[in-house]
Structure 1
Amino acid sequence: MTTVQSVQPPPTTAIRPRVVARTGLYAVLAANVAVVAFFFVQAGFASNTLIVLGRLTGLYGALLMAFQLLLVARLPWLDRRIGMDRLTSWHRWTGFGILWTLLAHAVFITYGYAESSSLDPVNQLVDLAETVEGVLRAVVALAIIMVVGAVSARYARRRLAYETWHFIHLYTYVAVVLAFTHQVAAGTTFATSSAATAYWYVVWGAALASVFAGRLVLPLWRNWRHQLRVTAVVPESDNVVSVYMSGRDLDRLPARAGQFFLWRFLTRDRWWQANPFSLSAAPDGRTLRLTAKAAGDGSAALRHVKVGTRVFAEGPYGAFTAMHRTRPEALLIAGGVGVTPIRALLEELDGHAVVLYRVAADRDAVLYGELQELAHAKGAELHLLTGPVSPDKLAPGELVRLVPDIADRDVFLCGPPPMMNAVLGSLRELNVPRTQIHFERFSLAG
């Protein structure tokens, strides 16, 4: 698959898609913060300062939970402009914000009511749970969020299998439902006026509808429409394999070079497992291709997938595309099997390109023959950099020697995390503008 496609870069004066999306998200959040403050003031203040602070932190905790749902909804418009890795990072920090905000809500409310009664804080909390509708549900929701927060901390996350962490994380949706019913039952500001009630129903309805649409309806619709099946399984080396798929109306699938899907091959033993793999060829409206290295059970099993196997694909995801180009010329840097989205991008990009492919040895250069054909067809420069990690073949001096005009190019980078971190440091040292550096890490929001 070496067909040559071209996508013109946007004018250098155009507003960047990532800036538009990020500014839009910030504006939506800021507007809702202001609306919540308005309804809070309109409802009046309790005489006890702690209770006032407790109600306010509870409202902002609820707003952050709704915003959190928007971040994990995998909405195409946001994903292709911001990228799932960045949305996942925001999701993580918003999650910790929710945890601390709701903890503050519980502490302020408990101590505030205890100050007005003769009960100690523990007995006051028990009394509230027994006598006020919705409080017990809120306590359960907070406990779930604390557990999820604990297993999401870096120390715990590194020691848990992804499937275990993901299963625990799904209980967050239970916490969301419990928290909302608590807000409906006990939220003073929620019921202060018909406008406030309508506002909260719209906020929660929009957030839940986003998740329902992005995580369920859209994937089901696309897979019903396109009916993907495996058409060929081609070994590229001893531990790398390419899988070709075809289906219906693939010219209407909004996939671009550089993006990835979550692939489920519907075999008896693997239908439940989804793996993220990038497209290794630019979509041509007839076939899709992934190329994967055997790094675990899921990727190793691809070599044994049978032709005709049905495929359930979620996506496309990712902002590692030509949509974010700022300059007419490009530098593409790949490391190891990270060459797959780079190879697809080279097929699509217009303008002069330089490709740097870093591997330990020549035998590790997956798809190198295709890269040579594409580079020849498009007039691109291709450099295969082999050898041990030291000396660094992608150090600042080496990059400038190979690409003297590096600061005037868009740089697309994909490879193992240590290599990517080192190259990003080199690009900073060479004063390549951040807006010209494009990379993405595999991170799944929610």
Structure 2
Amino acid sequence: MTVVTQPRALTFRRNVQVARVAIIAFIAFNLVAVQLMFIAAGPGKNLLGTIGRFLGLYLALVMALQLLLVARLPVVDRAYGMDRLTVWHRWTGMAIFWLALAHPAFVLLGFSRLDQVSFFATTVSLAKQLPVLLGMIAVVLIVVIVGLSVRAARRRLSYEAWHAVHLLLYVVVLLGVLHQVYEGSAFKVNLVTQVYWWGLWAFALGALIAGRLVVPLIRNSRHRLRVAAVVEEATDTVSVHITGRELDRLPARAGQFFLWRFPGHNGWWQVNPFSLSAAPNGRSLRLTAKGIGSTSAGLRDLPIGAKVYAEGPYGAFTSAHRTRGATVLIGGGIGVTPIRALLEDPDLTGHLVVLYRVRDAADAVLLGELRNLAEARKARLHVLTGRTASGYQPLGPERLLALVPDITARDVYVCGPDAMTTAVLDSLRRLRVPSRQVHAERFRLAG
């Protein structure tokens, strides 16, 4: 099996390595800068208050980094992939949660000890000051957002409702910035600290506004996306064909996804991440979705000509990240959509093996297209059906090795439900497939 040696692939991997080094250096620089700012500000009036101020600085820094994650910067997306960034977003969110609880707690304890009054009395007294009150409201909103994001609560919310709750993040940011303007002290030590601190926040807010508002507005104004056709693929699954102007200028690749809105048909806050289910051809786009949430279930009712607002493309689940000359594509359920697009991607050269995991053959969406594409590309397609049981592991190490004996010498792309993806990744680790050859996207981003 040969390693991919095309100049384009080598250049891309080199650019990714440079981007990763730059990102790590950026984070390290800011961690050091915040520590130096804290030292320059000097000790506080008591230890508890000093700890509170220390935690507040890092709370603000982590919030700025969270904004950069939410901004979905293309350089970060290409370097790490949206699936990994989603995990980091969750970790960063939990860090904000604990810091948002600890920072005011230590500050209030410090004032309580300094003034020799109770913690409750100190809280009530300081809450009468508007800057402190704004910070307290921000903490309450953070608790609400994180509380509704834990797995038990998340299961009870539709994706649309969960996404709407996360819009409170922007309110938290506004309150946090106002709180810093009035209450910040460590970054007001001198002109250098002020320029650095507000420069960081200006960069984070600017990236957010550009990435989530300005660029999408420009692209949608240029391309004017419209629904061209709605095709029923199965009882609960439809494909939406979308056309527009100058789609050849849209930097989309097979395997990527967009955040889709359908103005006039759904509310502006209703958005879903659906993967492209066909390789972009410069003339049209296609998404295929299963009716789970209110937005996806209503796609079959979209009228022809309906306006479409797309944000993206996002994701590093593309052929640009491959490292070997042959590939295995593994899809499960509706997570097969980016797999089907990759199978059509002309940039994905070399021998291909496709593994499609479904409970029953009747559930195999787009199976006819997969068979036609596999035949045209001389690829091997295996449809793995049946319920997983102790004696039957369709994607276990032994089964994968039997289906693809040279799997350790191939790139492996995996997309499907979380449980399936986790099981496949575990099998690949046990087979000692090098991590650089494994590319995964969880079902939550596949749409």
If the length of structure 2 is used for normalisation, what is the TM-score? Answer: 0.90
Q: Which residue of 1 aligns with 2:73?
A: 75
1:192 counterpart (183, 189, 201): 189
- Of the candidates 241, 246, 252, which is equivalent to residue 244 of structure 1? 241
Which residue of the partner structure matches residue 213 of structure 1? 210
**What is the match of residue 91 of structure 1?**
89
Whichever residue aligns with residue 379 of structure 1, its letter is: K
Matched, 1:352 2:351: yes
Alpha-carbon contact 1:240-1:291 (below 8 Å) kept: yes
SS of aligned partner of 1:152: coil
Residue segments in structure 1 that go unaligned for 5+ positions in a row:
1-5
1:151 aligns with 148
Indicate the residue corresponding to 1:282 in structure 2: 279
Using the TM superposition, name which of 346-355 and 109-118 deviates more: 109-118
Once the two structures are overlaid, the 10-residue window that deviates more, 216-225 or 83-92, is 83-92
Tell me the CA shift for residue 269 of structure 1. 4.9
Cα 1:9–1:394 shift into 2, 3 Å:
farther
Q: Is the 8 A contact 1:17 1:323 kept in 2?
A: no
Paired position in structure 2 for 1:374: 373
Q: Could you say which structure has the greater relative contact order, defined with CA pairs below 8 angstroms and 6 or more residues apart? A: 1
Secondary structure, counterpart of 1:273 in structure 2: coil
CA contact (8 A) 1:241 1:303 kept: yes
Alpha-carbon distance in 2 for matches of 1:92, 1:42: 32
Listed as ranges, the matches of 1:330-349 within 5 Å are 330-348=327-345, 349=348
Question: Residue 166 of structure 1 corresponds to which residue in structure 2?
Answer: 163
Indicate the residue corresponding to 1:101 in structure 2: 99
Instruction: Write the letter of the residue equivalent to 1:441.
Output: R
Distance in structure 1 (CA, Å) of the matches to 2:318 and 2:51: 45
Query: Offset at 1:10?
Result: 6.1
In structure 2, the residue matched to 1:142 is 139
State the one-letter code of the partner of 1:362.
A
Cα distance in 1, alignment partners of residues 233 and 101 from structure 2: 53
Question: Would the aligned equivalents of 2:413 and 2:439 in 1 still touch at CA under 8 Å?
Answer: yes
Looking at structure 2, the residues matched to 399 and 10 of structure 1 have their Cα atoms a distance apart, in angstroms, of 30
Cα deviations by residue, 1:138-193 (Å, 9 ceiling, x for unpaired) = 22222222222322233333333434433333223222222222222122212211
Q: Distance in 1 between matches of 2:251 and 2:409?
A: 30
2:224 maps to a residue whose letter is Q
The CA deviation at 1:17 is 6.2
C-alpha distance 213-232 of structure 1, shift in aligned 2 (>3 A): same
| Whole-angstrom distance in 2 between the partners of 1:122 and 1:277 | 48
What do the CA deviations read for 1:193-240 (whole angstroms, capped 9, x no partner)?
122112221111111111111111111111111011122222333333
- Aligned partners of 2:9 and 2:320 also within 8 Å: no
Distance 2:339 2:147 in 1: 37
Which residue of 324, 327, 340 corresponds with 1:327?
Answer: 324
What secondary structure is seen at the aligned counterpart in 2 of 1:190? helix
Conservation of the 8 A alpha-carbon contact between 2:160 and 2:272 = no
User: Does residue 1:408 correspond to 2:409, yes or no?
Assistant: yes
Contact 1:85 1:442 (8 Å CA) reproduced:
no
Unmatched segments (≥5 aa) in structure 2:
none
Letter paired with 1:81:
A
With 121-130 and 221-230 compared, the bigger mean Cα shift is at: 121-130
Q: Which deviates the most, 93-102 or 402-411?
A: 93-102
Paired with 2:237 and 2:105, the residues of 1 have a C-alpha distance of 54
Secondary structure (helix, strand or coil) at the match of 1:116 reads helix
Q: Counterpart of 2:403 in structure 1: which amino acid?
A: L
Alpha-carbon distance in 2 for matches of 1:215, 1:316: 12
Q: Secondary structure at the match of 1:68?
A: helix
Q: Secondary structure at the match of 1:376?
A: helix
Cα RMSD, aligned residues only: 2.5
1:236-275 superposed Cα distances (whole Å, 9 cap, x missing partner): 3333322211111111101000011122233445665322
Deviation at 1:18, TM superposition (A): 5.8
Whether the aligned pair in 2 keeps the contact of 1:334 and 1:414 (CA below 8 Å) is yes
Query: CA offsets per residue over residues 49-98 of structure 1, 9 Å max, x none?
Result: 22221211111111111111111112222223322232222112112212
Deviation at 1:373, TM superposition (A): 2.6
Identify the range of structure 1 (151-160 vs 338-347) with the bigger mean alpha-carbon deviation. 151-160
Partner SS, residue 439 of structure 2: strand
Task: Tell me which moved more, 10-19 or 233-242.
Answer: 10-19
Residue 256 (structure 2) pairs with residue 259 (structure 1): yes
Residue identity (%): 54
Instruction: Report the counterpart of residue 435 of structure 1 in structure 2.
Output: 436
Task: Report the secondary structure of 1:404's partner residue.
Answer: coil
| Contact persistence 1:326–1:410 (CA under 8 A) | yes
Name the structure 2 match of 1:65.
63
Identify if the C-alpha distance between structure 1 residues 369 and 9 changes in structure 2 by more than 3 Å, giving closer, same or farther.
farther
| TM-score (ref. length: structure 1) | 0.90
> What residue is the counterpart of 2:363 in the other structure?
364
Could you say what secondary structure the match of 1:310 adopts? coil
* Worse-matched range after superposition: 316-325 or 161-170: 161-170
The aligned amino acid for 2:417 is P
Counterpart of 2:395, as a letter, is L
Q: Which amino acid aligns with 1:157?
A: R
Q: Distance in 2 between matches of 1:127 and 1:360?
A: 61
Does the 8 Å CA contact 2:160/2:270 hold for their aligned counterparts?
no
Conservation of the 8 A alpha-carbon contact between 1:291 and 1:340: yes
Q: Distance in 2 between matches of 1:187 and 1:100?
A: 20
Aligned equivalents of 1:238, 1:117: Cα separation in 2: 68
**CA deviation map 1:20-62 (0-9, x unaligned):** 5444333212211111122222222224222221211111111
Determine the structure 2 residue equivalent to 1:309. 306
Give CA deviations for 1:286-331 in whole Å, capped at 9, x if unaligned: 1111122333443333223222222111111111111211111101
Q: CA deviation at 1:133?
A: 6.1
The one-letter code sitting in structure 1 at the alignment partner of 2:76 is L
Asked if the contact 2:228/2:243 (under 8 Å) is kept, the reply is yes
The aligned residue for residue 121 of structure 1 is: 119
Between Structure 1 and Structure 2, how many residues are aligned? 438
